[in-house]
Amino acid sequence: MSGVWAVLVAAGRGERFGGDRPKAFAKLRGRVMLAESLERLERSDWIEAIVIVAPVEWEEPSILLAEELSAGKVSSCVPGGATRADSVRAGVAEVPDDVPVILVHDAARPLLPEAVIERVITALGDGWDGAVPALPVADTIKRAGQDGAVLETLDRSGLVTVQTPQAFASAALRSALVGDIAGVTDCAGLVEAAGGRVRIVEGDPRLLKVTTPADLALVETLLASE
């Protein structure tokens, strides 16, 4: 399979995570967190090439990491922007125009199963512009006011939480990234706002996002049992 490029966004500072380096370079079982998702994309049969979006001034360590991992699919490494959407835009700009499908993945989700890559990519076509992995919401969802008072209890049927990797027809993603992209937290949201059709596929609990050190500890446990 060819024709799918991956944009791996790793340019966030990791403010909620804390620490003396960007979150993608926090240690996960003796390696930097970025190594895990990079290696999985490199090994994937679905991915032809990879663009790494690195924190400003961390391009060099990112390229060295790709060399260490013999990640020959890495085609370029570019610095990210102020928001995640800016970073995605910087990465997508490195993908050649004739590539039909772009897969966007968060380096903050190190455990990337091949089956999910396959699911989002094969869900495209038939007029779908994007496909995103999601899990049903397990807890009851309420809307709370600023004073802590419950305003309403939502009907959770049909509600899902969304993960990455997210796959897009590249034309749809590129046009969604033009213009004002502030305030949108995932690429699918941009494509939806531009009128694109995005579908849900089954996600995976292992794709949890590392936001705090406690999340990293959980990912380490899951990795040890793989």
| Binding partner selected for residue 142 from Mg ion, ligand CTP, none, CB under the kind-specific 5 to 8 Å limit | none
**What is the C-alpha separation between 49 and 5, in angstroms, rounded?**
5
165 makes contact with ligand CTP (CB under 6 A): no
- When asked if residue 10 is in the footprint of ligand CTP (CB under 6 A), the reply is yes
Q: Which of 64, 72, 209, 222 binds ligand CTP (CB under 6 A)?
A: 209
C-beta of residue 187 within 8 angstroms of C-beta of residue 6 = no
The torsion defined by the Cα of 74, 77, 83 and 89, in degrees rounded to 10, comes to: -70
Q: Does 216 bind ligand CTP (CB under 6 A)?
A: no
76 binds, among Mg ion, ligand CTP, none (CB under 5 to 8 A by kind): none
Cα separation, 116 vs 39, in Å, equals 15
Please state the closest distance from residue 140 (CB atom) to ligand CTP, in A: 25
Asked whether the beta carbons of 33 and 216 are under 8 A apart, the reply is yes
Query: d(Cα 84, Cα 91) in Å, to the nearest integer?
Result: 11
Residues 63-102 that bind ligand CTP (CB under 6 A): 80-84, 87
Among 9, 28, 123, 191, binds ligand CTP (CB under 6 A): 9
Rounded distance, CA 179 to CA 68, Å? 37
Length of the chain in terms of residues written? 226
User: 188 near 130, Cβ under 8 Å?
Assistant: yes
15 binds ligand CTP (CB under 6 A): yes
What phi and psi values does residue 105 have, to the nearest 5 degrees? Answer: -135, 145
Q: Of 11-40, which residues contact Mg ion (CB under 5 A)?
A: 12
To the nearest whole angstrom, how small is the minimum distance from the Cβ of residue 173 to Mg ion?
20
- Give the separation between CA 109 and CA 64, rounded to whole angstroms: 21
How far apart are CB 80 and Mg ion at their closest, in Å? 11
- Which one among 14, 133, 196, 203 touches ligand CTP, defined by CB under 6 A? 14
The span of 4-12, 30-38, 135-143, 213-221 binding Mg ion (CB under 5 A) equals 4-12
Residue placing its CB nearer to ligand CTP in the complex, 75 or 211: 211
Place of tokens 């004002």: 180
Tokens of 41: 């994309």
Residues near Mg ion, by CB under 5 A? 12
Residues near ligand CTP, by CB under 6 A? 9-17, 23-24, 53, 80-84, 87, 106-108, 209, 211
